[in-house]
Amino acid sequence: MDTPARPWTRERFQLGEGLRWTESGLLGVDILSGRLFVLDTEAPGRPVHTVLRLDHPLGAVAPVRGAAGTFVAAMGTGVATVAAGADGAARVTWLARPEEGAPAAMRMNDGCCDPAGRFWAGSMAYDETVGAGALYRVDRDRTVHRVLEGYTVPNGPAFSPDGRLMYIADSADGRIDVFPVRRGGELGAGRVFARLTEGGPDGMQVDGAGHLWAAVWGAGRVHRYAPEGELERAVSVPAAQPTSVCVVGNARPHLFVTSAAIGLDPADEYDGAVFRLAVDVPAPPAAVFGGAS
């Protein structure tokens, strides 16, 4: 049985997102400040450790296989690899900046790796121009491909443990889509997996039972959907804008949830906090770029 969501951090984030359980610990980002951080998953209230601070908005990262401390990142108007140099400053190597010079001012948003080691990330307009966003796939050879168009605020994606299904949300439209993923990373015909009547689906993760967890921005909830798309449960979070989810641990799994304080005036006590609650099903750790973890 799930327990109530417990505030876990003293720090409050403007736009906390992108939780991923990795060998480096539980990583997350504060998008607009360009900050990559790691959370202590065992003790609440400890200071949040900053791993990197970048000069661009940072949507999400994934570790690079065989390169400790290096990440592929959805940031600014494109995708780059990032790492801390000897002096602590971030080293950035751009792979592509496909949204540079777009008609609307754009930034990258959420992203993750699939089990085959490809990185997928969405883009959106700062002013949320309808349909301006896209989904990109970064192959293991570091080439970048535009694979979906017409999204306004793409969030996720999230992949089934076998990598054969990809879920992607359009938060602005209140829907989650699902696509079959072919062996080479091409997408088959998609369909609407779920529609929300309140709030917008944000960050997502598929657990070990094949159920999809989704943060629900604007509704103060986290949803868990069965593989057929039925809402299996809804968990309240004491923050208006939950943004991402991540299950940590196997013997005693817990779900961590980020939230955002941006746009709330005034923000309530726990808006922008990270929360933790016990759950009954574990989830695979985040896949790494270049190959499965």
* Catalytic residue positions, numbered: 202
3-state secondary structure 169-211: EEHHHCEEEEEEECCCCCECCCEEEEECCCCEEEEEEECCCCC
Rounded distance between C-alpha atoms, residue 219 and residue 10, angstroms: 22
| Whole-number CA gyration radius for the chain | 17
Q: What residues contact 72, with CB distance under 8 A and at least 6 apart?
A: 61, 62, 64, 79, 80, 81, 82, 95, 113, 119, 138, 289
Helix, strand, or coil (residue 76): coil
Rounded distance between C-alpha atoms, residue 225 and residue 206, angstroms: 9
Q: Yes or no: say if 170 and 177 are a contact pair by the CB < 8 Å rule.
A: yes
User: Which secondary structure element, helix H or strand E, spans residue 258, and what is its range?
Assistant: strand 254-259
Count how many residues are written for the chain. Answer: 293
